[in-house]
Structure 1
Amino acid sequence: MSQIVTTHNLSKRYADTYCVKDVNLSVDEGEIFGFLGPNGAGKSTTLKMILGLARPTDGKVKVFGKDFKANRRLILSQTGSLIESPSYYGHLSGLENMRIVQRLRDIPDKNVAEVLKIVRLENQKDKRVGQYSLGMKQRLGIAMALLSFPKLLILDEPTNGLDPAGIGEVRELIKSLPQRYGITVLISSHLLSEIEQIATSVGIINDGKMIFQGSMDVLKKKSQQTIMIKTSNNRLAQELLSTKGLFPFYRKDSLVFENFTDEQVIQANRSLLTANIDVLRIEEQKKNLESIFLEITGKERSL
């Protein structure tokens, strides 16, 4: 599988402050790569450098295996993007806006009708864009990015400001692109639930630095199961279970066991009851994606 986007020590500094520092990103062909991080983490700046909209302070960008600086025109001809928010002329119709992009990029007429159908705007194409809802404007922006049926589609927070129905529409559209059209998608978001539902691979950036990169399955494996046991005497229970080869640690008012099997739960419960230590509660807990993110970043802050 070939790599569509790679960066090497990509950095961007403003004055003495790095907003992106030594980012090594790798996006494989045919995947939906979720670029995840809090607002201000450096996602948009990284995407702008990949597209040549911002000049890197240090580092290199390769797209389709080619150096971006030396092959800028060729790379951009095969790339579609929507960064931050759609650009449009509000007094023109959706179709007229599409025609402008069509002429600028020298794209055949059939593409216009096809992408409007893909984003479900074919019945609204003659309406002035200024009268579009936020979701319709977002879909128009995606249509403009898709107009050339690029090999690579870069979307920066495409569900920003949308209602649940609009988010669902954009999500289903993006999920269909690799299989239907062979398009590789690089999508940034601060919405953990969206990335979890849409991406095949994920990169997590925080304070300008990449702190995780891998498949969604690898990230989910970090969601290890824990068993919490609360007893009438936790300290005595911990001492007893340690002699049985079971080594819990404390969390709040319970004993916590990681990767505990059903047989070990039975063993622990039986041992405690035999020793006349009352078992008040046995709970199974599993980390969700947000908990994993907070653990990886080491920061308890909401996205």
Structure 2
Amino acid sequence: MAAPVLTLHHVQKAYQERVILDITQLELEPGVYWLLGPNGAGKTTSMKVMAGLIPFQGEIKVDNSVSSRQSPVQYRRLVNYAEAEPLYPGFLTGSDLISLYIKTKGEGYRDMGSMMKFMGIESYVHQPVSSYSSGMLKKLSLLLAFTGKPRVILLDEPLITLDTQSVPLLYTLVEEFHQQYGVTFCITSHQAVTAGSIQLEVQGTTIVKR
């Protein structure tokens, strides 16, 4: 049995006394996971909590050593996140954001130039993001999630607004980063996952391991 890459202990998140997330103990071994559930089930809240982006009660650790509470900067270097509907300051260019992420996250597993070409954003990456369509923004946000050398990458509804040509490219990146670099993925989706997977029920949201 593999050691857990992400451990949640007594994690709780509430909005105005309404408990959205309540996890006593959850250990995610290395793998690719899907969070399945209807709107309002807490998928995005779960992702933002695991990314260390919003306050919560409890403790989350990477590799049972790096705490989101005690070492938040180091933790966020190890856990990357792409939100469902990305929003960036309009005056920045895609290149500005990529440079900022590389400066913050460090050098990545792959050359960023080849990644940009692979995702097809090199033609507009130097333009201000205010000129981007929703699909262009989505591809940029997904690319940013693959910067640095994370242990975990969280993708919140990655297929929303993504053009059909880019979907298999994203699947290829997920497979490559998991198989070659040992990155664990957690992906939210409204779509059903093939039968035969491991399923865990957490607050009405199903966590499925491929």
Q: With the length of structure 2 as denominator, give the TM-score of the two structures.
A: 0.80
1:192-233 superposed Cα distances (whole Å, 9 cap, x missing partner): 2xx449xx655454xxx15655645xxxxxxxxxxxxxxxxx
Say whether the 8 Å CA contact 1:81–1:145 is kept in structure 2: yes
Aligned match of 2:14: 13
Which structure shows the bigger proportion of residues in helix conformation? 1
- SS of equivalent to 2:188: strand
Q: Is the 8 A contact 2:36 2:206 kept in 1?
A: no
Query: Residue 23 of structure 2 aligns with which residue?
Result: 22
2:175 maps to: 175
Contact map agreement 1:115 1:147 (CA 8 A) in 2: no
Larger radius of gyration: 1
Deviation at 1:69, TM superposition (A): 1.5
Within 5 Å, give how 1:201-220 maps onto structure 2. 202-205=199-202, 209=203, 213=207, 215-216=209-210
Alignment partner of 1:3: what SS? coil
1: CA distance, partners of 2:17 / 2:94: 43
Question: Partner of 1:55 in structure 2?
Answer: 55
Q: Work out the CA distance in 2 between the residues paired with 1:23 and 1:190.
A: 25
1:128-186 per-position Cα deviation (integer Å, ceiling 9, x unaligned): 43333322211211211211131211111111233444444433432332113322111
- In 1: Cα distance, 2:86 partner to 2:69 partner: 25
Q: How does 1:71-220 map to 2 (within 5 A)?
A: 71-107=71-107, 111-192=111-192, 195-196=193-194, 202-205=199-202, 209=203, 213=207, 215-216=209-210
Give the superposition deviation at 1:34.
Answer: 0.7
Q: Between the two proteins, what is the percent identity of the paired residues?
A: 24
| Deviation by residue 1:88-128 (Cα, 9 ceiling, x = unmatched) | 343443223312323344548x8432432343323443344
Task: Call closer, same or farther: CA 1:166–1:28 in 2, change over 3 Å.
Answer: same
- SS where residue 81 of structure 1 aligns? strand
Q: Give yes or no for contact 2:52–2:76 (8 Å, CA) kept in 1.
A: no
Q: 1 CA distance for matches of 2:187 and 2:118?
A: 18
How many matched pairs? 207
- Asked if 2 retains the 8 angstrom alpha-carbon contact of 1:36 and 1:204, the reply is no
Contact 1:62/1:68 (8 A) holds in 2: yes
Distance (whole Å) between structure 1 residues aligned to residue 208 and residue 125 of structure 2: 40
Aligned-partner SS, 1:84: coil
Against the structure 1 CA distance between its residues 166 and 203, is the aligned structure 2 distance closer, same or farther, given a 3 Å change threshold? Answer: farther
- What is the one-letter code of the residue matched to 1:70? Q
Q: What 5-or-longer segments of structure 1 have no aligned partner? A: 217-303
Q: Does 1:35 align with 2:35?
A: yes
Cα pair 2:35 2:189 within 8 Å, conserved: yes
Structure-2 change in CA distance of 1:132 and 1:15 (3 Å)? closer
Answer 1 or 2: higher relative contact order, Cα 8 Å, separation at least 6: 2
Return the TM-score normalized by structure 1. 0.58
Work out the CA distance in 1 between the residues paired with 2:158 and 2:164: 13
Alignment RMSD (CA, Å): 3.0
Alpha carbons of structure 1 residues 84 and 150: separation in structure 2 relative to 1, 3 Å: same
- How far, CA to CA, are the matches of 1:56 and 1:215 in structure 2? 25
Which AA in structure 1 matches 2:59? K
Tell me if the contact between 2:35 and 2:207 (Cα under 8 Å) persists in the aligned partners: no
Cα pair 2:37 2:206 within 8 Å, conserved: no
Q: Distance in 2 between matches of 1:177 and 1:63?
A: 17
